[in-house]
A and B are shown apart, each in its own frame.
Chain A
Amino acid sequence: MIGGAVFGVVIPYVAIAVFIVGVIYKIIGWANSAVPLKIPTTCGQQYTLPFLRRNIYDRFDCPQTMWETVGRMFFEIFFFRSLFRNTRFYYAPQMKYKDARWLWLFGIAFHYSLLLVLIDHLRFFMNPVPWFSSKLTDGLSLTGVFVPTLYLPGLLIVVALALLWARRLFFGKERTISLPSDHFVLILLLAITISGNLMRYFYKVDLEGVKELILCLSTFNVARAVSIADTIGPVLYIHLTLVSILLAYFPFSKLMHSAGVFFSPTRNMPNDNRVHIHINPWNPEVKGITYEQYYEMYKDQLDEIAENGYKVKPEV
């Protein structure tokens, strides 16, 4: 009785609340600091003289207008364009530069799988199930092999996470820079995805009850939620609790990169510094030396230049 209520109702509610409030708190925290300077990283030719052609990639890598900036952010967010530029420097034996876009591959595999898995999960959250969710799920499932159908992103996400974690475990540089929190997040995500897959394929739970529980939670029908929570198998609560931990941990961790990438000034600002001047709201006054003071200091030399008619002639 207590178990169901705690794991099925209290923990999810708390986690969601922490998640929402935390993320907004964090965003507002960032927003409270000004962006004093416009510092885009330009990775393409700037907008310049008309005869120097800017190609389409320059437009996105070195945006001049708002729409080009939007384009840059789009490619950054949906295709990880910066990571796609990745090269690796090889010390031995030839000291060469090579493409090394594995990180991009693993990263994009993980993130897209995550997106698809989340869209698939809409069937637990929405009643009736939205058409795009079920259509997408059908298209990505292999039937005829297993019961239920093999949902490919659900498996791919485990593989991608394992590969991402393997990088951190086996590569020297990555191991060095990985903090416990980095491992923690990967382990947590692995645990969530593996428990989800186990639940899907092996340790079945009564999904009907799960959906009922979630719908009760989302319509704040707490009493009914508590009563249903007790009828569902414990396997679900492993998954659900891990997800709750992730949600509650989200705002206080590096996972905030998902929101932060939108705020990054090196990416979300156009490179039009000399056309539209950026205003720094706290621009300080700085008292430097004025020309008058300068003139006082070097009066004789400046006067000499003036005497020569403000020009210098070669003495041949």
Chain B
Amino acid sequence: MISRRRLLILAGASAAAAFAGVSPIAGSPEGTSKDPNVPRWAMLVDVDKCTECVKELIKKTGDPHVKPPCVVACDEFNNVPEFEDKKKDPQWMRIAKFSLDKESVEPEEFYMPLLCNHCEHPACAQVCPTKATFQRPDGIVMIDTHRCIGCRYCMIACPYGARSFNFEDPRKGLRHINPEVPTRSRGVVEKCTFCVQIVDEAMERGEAPEPACVKACRLYSKNALVFGNVKDPNSEISKLMRTGYVIQLRPGVGTDPYVFYKFIKERP
């Protein structure tokens, strides 16, 4: 028969949730954790290696819109759909070409990936009316799509254009499904999660996590992307960050992004 105690606990918990307005266990702590044992995930992009890789690929394929392995891996792992119409096509990770805004000097172009910056002060979580977007103690900014109402305020607020809205049912744009990650539904916003499934699973096993893009980059033997815990001074990412000039995107808006871009032109 039913375990009466548990029934009451569960029922009581949900009752309390209904009346208090918030789930007792769902409250996300404000800000990332101060606890030194809780990691703070970040990503470092070596812009030079990235540029090298993309240029190489463009040359090889002749396609200026080529998707490098990191983007392909991201799309595949996270079930990011592909639609013909660029206007409606969601993209978590994308490669952009930059050049100094001075045509006269013929500046050199460089390429770098754009993805969710998992900011320390995420504008999206700030504006989300349902707390569907929230920041985990380890710094990962997540969307609880169960709660998302699809108002797209976060897309307006995000300074990095990292978010995509599902104008269509994503399953229509998928040819392959990774069962580990849910495909989202029509009418919600989605974005890069630092492959949170991989991160959580690795943490459970006590290993160092490696998101799909980072893994793909490593397997493609470019090592342009590094993922790790910046709180740990001995982590690879911390070490690498000490070796060059590291910038953040749009530091002026004060969101304090945790995807760092490293510039060092190491000429042979």
Q: Using a CB–CB distance below 8 Å, which chain A residues touch chain B?
A: 144, 146-147, 201-204, 233
Known: A146-B14, A201-B18, A202-B14. 5 other contacts (CB 8 A): A144-B146, A144-B147, A201-B15, A202-B11, A233-B2
Within 8 A of A (CB), among B219-233: none
> Which residues of the other chain, B, contact A146 by a CB distance below 8 angstroms?
14, 18
B12 to A, closest residue via Cβ: A202
CB nearest neighbor in B for A143:
B146
Q: Which residues of chain A are near B149, meaning CB under 8 Å?
A: 144
Closest A residue to B148 using CB positions: A144
Bound complex: CA A26 to CA B41 (Å): 75
Identify which of B7, B14, B146 contacts A201 (C-beta below 8 A). B14
Q: Kindly supply a per-residue 1/0 record for chain B positions 161-199, scoring 1 wherever the CB is within 8 Å of any chain A CB and 0 otherwise.
A: 000000000000000000000000000000000000000
B108–chain A nearest beta-carbon distance, Å: 49
Q: Once the chains are docked, how many angstroms separate the CA of A201 from the CA of B19?
A: 12
Name the residue on A nearest B2 (C-beta).
Answer: A233
Rounded to whole angstroms, the CA-CA distance of A107 and B121 in the bound complex is 51
Q: C-beta contact mask, B1-21 vs A, less than 8 Å → 1, else 0?
A: 010000100010011001000
Which range holds the interface residue count of chain B? Answer: under 10
Q: Residues of B at under 8 Å CB distance from A? A: 2, 7, 11, 14-15, 18, 146-147, 149
Residue contacts A-B, CB under 8 angstroms, 16 given = A144-B147, A144-B149, A146-B14, A146-B18, A147-B14, A201-B14, A201-B15, A201-B18, A202-B11, A202-B14, A202-B15, A203-B7, A203-B11, A204-B7, A204-B11, A233-B2
Chain B residues closer than 8 Å to A233, beta-carbon distance: 2
CA distance A147 to B10 in the complex (A): 12
> Chain A's nearest CB lies how many Å from the CB of B210?
33
Q: Please, which residues of chain A bring their CB within 8 A of the CB of B7?
A: 203-204
Smallest beta-carbon distance B107→chain A, Å: 48
Rounded to whole Å, the gap between the CB of A220 and the closest CB of chain B is 29
Residues of chain B lying within 8 A (CB to CB) of residue A202: 11, 14-15
- Determine the distance from Cα of A204 to Cα of B14 in the docked complex, in whole angstroms: 12
| B146 / chain A contacts, CB cutoff of 8 Å | 144
User: Which chain B residues lie closer than 8 Å to A204 at the CB level?
Assistant: 7, 11
Closest chain-B Cβ to A107's Cβ sits at a distance in Å of: 28
A138 to chain B, nearest CB (A): 15
B153 to chain A, nearest CB (A): 17
In the bound complex, what is the Cα–Cα distance between A201 and B18 (angstroms)? 10
Shortest A149–chain B CB gap in Å is 12
Among residues of A, the one whose C-beta sits closest to the C-beta of B18 is A146
With both chains docked as a complex, state the minimum distance between the C-beta of A116 and any C-beta of chain B, in angstroms: 21
Chain A proximity of B244: nearest CB distance (Å) = 45
Q: Which 10 A-B pairs have the closest CB atoms?
A: A202-B11, A202-B15, A144-B146, A203-B11, A144-B147, A146-B18, A202-B14, A233-B2, A201-B18, A201-B14
Q: Which residue of B lies closest to A233 (CB)?
A: B2
Docked pose: A127 CA to B18 CA in angstroms: 32
- Cα distance A204–B10 when bound, in Å? 10
Q: Which residues of A contact B2 (CB under 8 A)?
A: 233
The residue in chain A whose Cβ has the minimal distance to the Cβ of B11 is A202
A203 to B14, CA, bound (A): 11
Cα of A146 to Cα of B26 in the assembled complex, Å: 13
| In the bound complex, CA of A147 to CA of B147 (Å) | 12
Inter-chain contacts of B147 with A (CB < 8 A): 144
Give the distance in Å from the alpha carbon of A146 to the alpha carbon of B19 in the complex.
Answer: 11
A147 vs B146: C-alpha distance in the bound complex, in angstroms?
11
Bound-state CA distance A201–B164 (Å) is 34
Distance in angstroms from A233 CB to nearest chain B CB is 7
Chain A residues whose C-beta falls within 8 Å of the C-beta of B15 in the assembled complex: 201-202
Write out the residue numbers on chain B whose beta carbons fall within 8 Å of the beta carbon of A203. Answer: 7, 11
A53 to B2, CA, bound (A): 70
CA distance A146 to B15 in the complex (A): 10
User: In the complex the two chains form, what is the Cα distance from A144 to B18 in whole Å?
Assistant: 12
How far is B147's CA from A202's CA once the two chains are assembled, in angstroms? Answer: 21
The closest CB in chain A to the CB of B149 belongs to A144
Q: Considering the chains assembled together, what is the distance between the CA atoms of A233 and B11 in angstroms?
A: 15
B-side contacts of A144, CB under 8 Å: 146-147, 149
Shortest CB distance B130–A (Å): 8
Q: How far is the CB of A77 from chain B (nearest CB, A)?
A: 36
Q: Which residues of A contact B18 (CB under 8 A)?
A: 146, 201
